Amino acid sequence: MAELEGLEFGKSDFVLLDEVTMEQFMENLRLRFEKGRIYTFIGEVVVSVNPYKQMDIYGKEVIEDYRGRELYENPPHLYAVADAAYKAMKRRAKDTCIVISGESGAGKTEASKYIMQYIAAITNPSQRAEVESVKNVLLKSNCVLEAFGNAKTNRNDNSSRFGKYMDINFNFNGDPTGGHINNYLLEKSRVVQQQEGERNFHSFYQVLRGGSDELLKSLYLQRDPAEYAYTSQGASASNNDSLCHKAVMAALKVIGFTAEEISSIYKILSTILHLVSPTLNALEDYLLIFASVFLSVCGQCCLTSTEAENARKTLLYRTVATGGGEVIEKGHNEKEASYGRDAFAKALYERLFAWIVGRINSVIEVKDYNPALHGKNTVIGVLDIYGFEIFDNNSFEQFCINYCNEKLQQLFIELILRQEQDEYQREGITWQHIEYFNNQIIVDLVEQPHKGIISILDEACLTAGKVTDTVCLDSMNKKLGQHPHYTSRKLCPADKTMEFNRDFRIRHYAGDVTYSVEGFLDKNKDPLFQDFKRLMYNSSDPVLKEMWPDGKMSITEVTKRPLTAATLFKNSIIALVDKLACKEPYYVRCIKPNEVKSSMLFDDGRCQHQVAYLGLLENVRVRRAGFAYRQPYARFLQRYKMTCEYTWPNHLMGSDQEAVEAIVNQHGFEDDVAYGHTKLFVRTPRTLFTLEQERSALIPILVLFLQKVWRGALARMRCRKLRAIYTIMAYYKCYKVKAHFWEVERRFTNVRNMADYGKSVEWPTPPAALVQFHRITQHLYRRWWARQLIKNIPPSDMAEVRAKVAALSALSGERVDWGYSRAWERDYLANAKDSPLTSTNFVRITKELKNKDQYSQILFSCSVRMLNWFNNTKDRALLITDKHIYRLEPKKHFKVQKRIPLDSVVGVSVTSGSDQMVALHTASQDDFLVHLQRGQLNPNQDRVGEMVGNFCLENNETFHLEYKLASNSKIFISLKGLKFNSLKGYCQRPGNVLLYGSVHQHF
């Protein structure tokens, strides 16, 4: 880190100073301030000097420079400590907190805003909408809280007049899931009275100067703050009030305030402003004019939504319950009325502020959180609380604020100084003890039971009778007179800087502060007439009613005395310190360089005083004499064991300490470390940086190795599962096969005894492995079923059956009716019933042809009609034998006109209709077309199927049928393995397609 900034900017870490003296410390602080380096480290503590100007060191590029980097890798910056706290929270799942301390005007509020902005910028990389919503509410809440909780003081234009501690909750991914805000001791007395040159809370001026005309008209307000007593003192113009009001209105809507709630907020502010006019001083004016003005504006105009008569009585009278249960009304005098009015104004604003904080908490709190489902919920706390204050007139508020700073200083001493030295002693590390001031004695002076100042104040408040501030001061003088850090004018009469019976002084760690005891008891009692509480509780405005739950009690109801303001504040601060003590702290120590808010002036005396009371010099000495980093051996080994061959993946040494020594010796860092009883102590950050660099280089290799091992394990697990699956599948397949066999056997057991031999039995669906086997089985069954039918057919009918089967196979269902349902005669020309006139003559001719051509049998004979080339039809006879195809002329005693060898026929074409046309195709392309005549036996019988069947049956046996082809309305049957398309023969010739049509029409 020191190498990143040149020596001209001074030392970026005070630990690197040549000598730890106040002079060198201040010289280095001044040099860095003048060079624009407002941040400096003390180890892990950031010292911040208010530059009183805008600086370009907070942009996105700077955020990226610090994201994920170690604290010592970059120059000092708020982002470095914010990132360190975030990494510690995310890496070790440990709650952390960032404590921002310093006096008023040192820049604590701005530091807290930059830290919040950095955390918002580095989280939620996936841009999830719900996380973005939480981040927006957390950021916008700062704007609202500043408006209602900050004010201009003589030291600071934007001074926090309340303490704020915000917890930000993160999920296991490191994304913010919600948060919670605690507010401490709002300086409500500022509502009714401010010191000269100061202003009331920002919210009043923002609504007056920034509110729209319609809003101001509805609230009955004038735009000039000088018109109202509570804002007249700070009525000087401000250019930011109008812009800030718009920002606050937008922030309220983003957070989730409804329009009705926002309206109620500004009605309450208006009510407070209307409570008093700066021109009304006399009692009669106040009682008469103020009451009527307030009633007309606040009662009748519904700003408070209360009954006018009830409001009048509350302002002018006080209801008191006597011991006997009687209720009486007591009229106010001027002092009582003024006191009641101011108390009411302060209580209204205080409860409004508390309600706003509670409303924000209800929006940002983590909802439906379940550790089992959502993982560990870790927290980063950000504390922005009022700084140490020394004014010309210090009252009860300054007393509480300075007590709070004493508690935070004690925490700093406890965690940074004393615990560190105690740890060195506990671990047996050689150590030179550093002297430092322990402010426990001052804390005890304020909060010790029965002896502390708060106990004395409470005792005075509880004492019956007239107890004044002076009496209380006398009591403190008696009980605390011997305390070395307490004094008063009575105890030290020569000190004329204090007034008799008014002032007392406490020697704080940050310097001596003189307090005026006037008003201490009233502010500690914090009384408010019960009439005001009941009035607000009975309001019809739900927001007002919610703010005053204690107004529900009756006037005669006896209640327990409430705790005093000092005790409540003490308890809350103790709880805050306990909350911070259980987290890993990171500190931002803010320093105010001058009193005139100059960006050039560095007031040595003023800054030296702050350095002294903040204990920064002691912090440097402790850090310089000590070690920058310490870690238990087991945790150090777990993080860095991969950087040493003797410790990865697991060491075999006697203890974790020996393994850690092996890591340190291998890297040559033995001169920069010390070994405690349970921890390793590293002196310089450079050693740790080197280890982190080497670890970062090895992580990808280890990740790949782990991925390889895990992927192998996953592959083996998957392989075993697959093997098991395959085994189950194999057995299941066997079962399915057997089950199919069993089912087939069950269904077909009695098919022999069935009339249809099981044709009506439905086959079960086979498993995928048996599909082919199932088809073969079905084929075998059909063959068996056919055999059962055929074996009962007489041998004389078998030729006809074979012919029909051949026709069925050849026609393939393309022809609907092909005469399968009738007996086939084959030789129709020789049948006397079909051809009574020519049968005798035909029989004679066939005998002659048989003797001549030596054929064995007649396959088919029939009268046909032919079409010649001149479109003339002629009656002929067709005779098909096992040797030839004859075309005969019936009128010339069946003279042979054409003889075609059967082996020259290559195909037969028929139509798919009911006509009787047949085309015979020959190898020599001497084809002819005939139309079969039905004869007299049966005028409607189809003979095409019979001719095709007998023809194909003969050719199957002799030439082997190759295939059949369907084309449009024509069926072509190819023989001898020769492949013809469906347009062979007549269709190949020009006009034959039309010829078919004309032939069909002609026939």
Q: Let me know if 389 is a catalytic residue.
A: yes
Question: Of 96, 123, 124, 160, which residue is the catalytic one?
Answer: 160
Nearest of 668, 709, 707, 671 to residue 691 by alpha carbon: 668
Q: How far apart are CA 472 and CA 516, in angstroms?
A: 12
The reply to whether 475 sits in an annotated binding site is: no
Question: Of 101, 141, 142, 159, which residue is the catalytic one?
Answer: 159
Question: Of 5, 187, 389, 825, which residue is the catalytic one?
Answer: 389
Question: Of 43, 178, 179, 387, which residue is the catalytic one?
Answer: 387
Question: Of 156, 305, 378, 564, which residue is the catalytic one?
Answer: 156
Q: Which amino acid is at 756?
A: D
The reply to whether 676 sits in an annotated binding site is: no
Q: How far apart are CA 901 and CA 883, in angstroms?
A: 6
The reply to whether 977 sits in an annotated binding site is: no
The reply to whether 323 sits in an annotated binding site is: no
Q: How far apart are CA 455 and CA 656, in angstroms?
A: 52
Q: Secondary structure of the chain: what % helix, strand, coil (to 5)?
A: 50, 15, 35
- The two beta strands, 584-591 and 96-101, are parallel
Question: Of 48, 50, 101, 109, which residue is the catalytic one?
Answer: 109
Q: What are phi and psi of 428, to 5 degrees?
A: 75, 30
Q: How far apart are CA 167 and CA 772, in angstroms?
A: 74
Q: Let me know if 962 is a catalytic residue.
A: no
Question: Of 10, 105, 163, 758, which residue is the catalytic one?
Answer: 105
Nearest of 662, 658, 640 to residue 649 by alpha carbon: 640
Structure tokens at 123: 């989280």
One-character DSSP codes across 289-358: IIHHHHIIIIITTTSS---HHHHHHHHHEEEEE-TTS-EEEEE--HHHHHHHHHHHHHHHHHHHHHHHHH
The reply to whether 106 sits in an annotated binding site is: yes
Question: Of 104, 835, 863, 950, which residue is the catalytic one?
Answer: 104
Question: In angstroms, what CA-CA distances link 787 with 184, 781, 782, 871?
Answer: 107, 10, 8, 49
Q: How far apart are CA 126 and CA 149, in angstroms?
A: 34
Q: How far apart are CA 645 and CA 315, in angstroms?
A: 83
Q: How far apart are CA 446 and CA 509, in angstroms?
A: 13
Q: DSSP 3-state assignment of 879? A: strand
* Residues 6 or more apart whose Cβ sits within 8 Å of residue 992: 985, 986
Residue with tokens 């006109």: 897
Contact 122, 174 (CB under 8 A): no
Q: Let me know if 160 is a catalytic residue.
A: yes
Q: Counting beta carbons within 10 angstroms of the beta carbon of residue 334, is it exposed (0 to 12), middle (13 to 18) or buried (19 or more)?
A: middle
The reply to whether 107 sits in an annotated binding site is: yes
- Sheet containing 503-508: order of strands: 486-488, 503-508, 511-516
Q: Let me know if 835 is a catalytic residue.
A: no
Q: How far apart are CA 911 and CA 919, in angstroms?
A: 9
Within the chain, what is the greatest distance between any pair of CA atoms? 174
Q: What are phi and psi of 683, to 5 degrees?
A: -80, -50
Q: How far apart are CA 527 and CA 522, in angstroms?
A: 7
Nearest of 207, 233, 227 to residue 277 by alpha carbon: 227
Question: In angstroms, what CA-CA distances link 517 with 443, 488, 569?
Answer: 19, 11, 18
Q: How far apart are CA 836 and CA 830, in angstroms?
A: 9
Contact 365, 166 (CB under 8 A): no
The reply to whether 365 sits in an annotated binding site is: no
One-character DSSP codes across 590-616: EE---SS--SS---HHHHHHHHHHHTH
Helix (H), strand (E) at residue 919: strand 917-922
Contact 911, 971 (CB under 8 A): yes
Q: Which amino acid is at 265?
A: I
Four-point Cα dihedral 102, 104, 105, 106, nearest 10: 0
Q: Let me know if 105 is a catalytic residue.
A: yes
Q: DSSP 3-state assignment of 437? A: coil
Q: How far apart are CA 894 and CA 940, in angstroms?
A: 25
Q: Let me know if 232 is a catalytic residue.
A: no
The reply to whether 149 sits in an annotated binding site is: no
Annotated binding-site positions: 102-109
Annotated binding-site positions for ATP: 102-109
Catalytic residues: 104-105, 109, 156, 159-160, 387, 389
